[in-house]
Amino acid sequence: MPKITGLAAIALADDNAAAFTSVPLTTTQAILKCETNNVRLGDVDFPPTASTGYLWNVGETLLYVGNDYEQFLKNLRIINAVAGSNGTIRGFFMTGFDKA
């Protein structure tokens, strides 16, 4: 049975790339929404900047479902797409779905 394992939140307060402060060990899926201001995504090996990385627009939802995403989510980095805009990401981490 699917189960929420934790809440996901990043509130960017400066123009440095940020990460989730914790990802539960049992996380296999996540549903994340960019709630305020556009941001860019990257990871520890390819950190985003305001002009590089995947552009994630406000209002869009990203689904990471069907695999083991714990390590991926730990390595994810998010930065403001516009300096000083202080984007916000919210969602939740889950477990319990069958892997694809």
pTM confidence score: 0.89
CA distances from 48 to 25, 29, 55, 66, 75 (A): 25, 22, 10, 25, 12
pLDDT tens, position by position, 19-58:
998 999 889 999 999 999 999 999 999 999 999 999 999 9
pLDDT class for 98, splitting at 50, 70, 90?
A: low
pLDDT at res. 66: 75
Q: For 54-86, write each residue's pLDDT tens digit.
A: 999 999 999 998 778 889 999 999 999 999 999
